[in-house]
Amino acid sequence: NAGVTQTPKFRILKIGQSMTLQCTQDMNHNYMYWYRQDPGMGLKLIYYSVGAGITDKGEVPNGYNVSRSTTEDFPLRLELAAPSQTSVYFCASSGSYNEQFFGPGTRLTVL
Amino acid sequence: AQTVTQSQPEMSVQEAETVTLSCTYDTSESDYYLFWYKQPPSRQMILVIRQEAYKQQNATENRFSVNFQKAAKSFSLKISDSQLGDAAMYFCAYRPGQGGSEKLVFGKGTKLTVNP
């Protein structure tokens, strides 16, 4: 049981490039989330999903897109990367009324 | 919108001593959950303790306990017999009890240093 896995662990992008952060969970959780954590700050919600085919914006969605075609996968797409998107990205999942389980994070640098 | 405030950016404690981390939150809801997460240098977010708002009894997990004051909207974390491995960032988080999305709102965190 791997829990929540994220790839890649580290990535450096040039301004204007695009990439997809992958997130997979094997706990059959309906709820999945993407957060970003800027230095010295708590986590802020980017997007979330309450089930396959259903996604919604969080607090800081601009510059990102998501999809949820399966229960297990919840990829986060960055289009036209900007330096302001330099951050650590966490994916999480949750079953009903349980705590959120977090992946190990992806450190992204945009230069 | 709900907000979570951690007023102590940094705290330090001597090994084997007790330390209390503060957290206040703002909500108009009566049904919600509160959490403390630990983030060591590895960056992994680890759940430390959870409190349901409808429960009057304070949650306890081994050396970790909370002081939940619902009327004051306060949720402090007490770490007893502090160990070097307790050194980390600690985040307080709030989640509404109903609504279906179970979104977490995080405070900015408190950096805990444990001195040998």
Dihedral of CA atoms B59, B61, B66, B70 in degrees, nearest 10, equals: -20
**Is the pLDDT reported for residue B65 higher than 70?**
yes
Taking the CB of residue B96, how many other CB atoms lie within 10 A of it?
Answer: 18
Is A110 within the bounds of a domain?
no
Determine the pLDDT at residue A39.
Answer: 85
Mean pLDDT of A36-60: 92
Determine the pLDDT at residue B30.
Answer: 86
Is A111 within the bounds of a domain?
no
Cβ-defined contact of B103 to A33 (cutoff 8 Å): yes
How many domains does the structure of chain B reveal? 1
Q: Which structural domain range is residue B79 located in? A: 3-115
Q: What is the CATH number of the domain that holds A45?
A: 2.60.40.10
How many domains does the structure of chain A reveal? 1
Determine the pLDDT at residue B103.
Answer: 79
Mean pLDDT of A67-92: 96
Cβ-defined contact of A40 to B91 (cutoff 8 Å): no
Mean pLDDT of B78-85: 97
Q: What is the CATH number of the domain that holds B97?
A: 2.60.40.10
**Is the pLDDT reported for residue B100 higher than 60?**
no
Helix (H, G, I), strand (E, B) or coil at A54: strand
% of chain B residues with pLDDT over 70: 96
Is A39 within the bounds of a domain?
yes
Find out whether B86 and B114 touch, Cβ atoms under 8 Å.
Answer: yes
**Residues paired with residue A88 on neighbouring β-strands, in sequence order:** A37, A107
| Structure confidence by residue, pLDDT tens digits, B14-59 | 999 999 999 999 998 888 999 999 999 988 999 999 999 998 899 9
Is A37 within the bounds of a domain?
yes
Is A109 within the bounds of a domain?
no
Task: Please tell me the distance in Å from A43's CA to the nearest CA on chain B.
Answer: 6
Cβ-defined contact of A105 to B43 (cutoff 8 Å): yes
**Residues paired with residue A9 on neighbouring β-strands, in sequence order:** none
Q: Which structural domain range is residue A54 located in? A: 4-98
Determine the pLDDT at residue A99.
Answer: 80
Which of residues 72 through 91 in chain B touch A, CB cutoff 8 A? 91
A99 touches chain B (CB under 8 A): yes
Chain A positions touching B91 (Cβ under 8 A) are: 42-43
